[in-house]
Amino acid sequence: MKNFLIVGHKAVTETFSLNDLPGAAGRMDILCRCINAALFLSHDLRRDVCVFIVLKGEPSSPKIVRFDGSMVRYLSPDERSCASLIKKALEKKAQDFWTESTAGVSVRKGDMEAIIKELEMKITYLREDGEDIRAKIFEGYSNRLFVLGDHLGLTEVEEKMISECEHETISVGPLSLHADHCIVLLHNEMDRGKHI
Ligand SMILES: C[S@@+](CC[C@H](N)C(=O)[O-])C[C@H]1O[C@@H](n2cnc3c(N)ncnc32)[C@H](O)[C@@H]1O
- For the chain, domains (ranges, CATH) are 1-191 (3.40.1280.10)
pLDDT for the residue 194 = 56
Pairing outcome for strands 123-132 and 144-148: parallel
For residue 196, what pLDDT band results from cuts at 50, 70 and 90?
Answer: very low
Above 90 in pLDDT, residue 140? no
Who lines ligand 1 at CB under 6 A? 126-128, 130, 148-149, 151-154, 171-173, 175-179, 182
Report CA(103)–ligand 1 centroid distance (Å). 31
Q: Strand order of the sheet with strand 2-8?
A: 99-102, 105-109, 63-68, 49-55, 2-8, 144-148, 123-132, 167-171
87-121 pLDDT per residue, tens: 999 999 999 999 999 999 999 999 999 999 999 99
CA 3 to chain centre: 8
* Three-class DSSP category at 177: coil
The mean pLDDT of 4-29, rounded to a whole number, is 98
- With the most atoms of ligand 1 within 8 angstroms of its CB, the residue from 53, 56, 112, 127 to mutate is 127
* Pair 160, 120: CB distance under 8 Å: no
Above 50 in pLDDT, residue 7? yes
In the chain, % of residues over pLDDT 70: 98
137 vs 118: which has the higher pLDDT: 118
Torsion 76-80-83-84 (CA) sign: negative
Above 90 in pLDDT, residue 139? no
- With the most atoms of ligand 1 within 8 angstroms of its CB, the residue from 5, 30, 168, 176 to mutate is 176
* Dist CA 84 CA 58 (whole Å): 18
Report CA(100)–ligand 1 centroid distance (Å). 30
pTM for the model: 0.97
For residue 195, what pLDDT band results from cuts at 50, 70 and 90?
Answer: very low
Q: Is 78 left (phi over 0), alpha (psi -120 to 50) or beta?
A: beta
- With the most atoms of ligand 1 within 8 angstroms of its CB, the residue from 128, 147, 168, 181 to mutate is 128
pLDDT for the residue 4 = 98
Report the mean per-residue pLDDT for the chain: 96
Report CA(195)–ligand 1 centroid distance (Å). 27
Above 80 in pLDDT, residue 171? yes
Cβ count within 10 A of residue 159: 16
Cβ count within 10 A of residue 29: 19
pLDDT for the residue 125 = 98
151: Cα within 13 Å, side-chain hemisphere: 10
21-75 pLDDT per residue, tens: 999 999 999 999 999 999 999 999 999 999 999 999 999 999 999 999 999 999 9
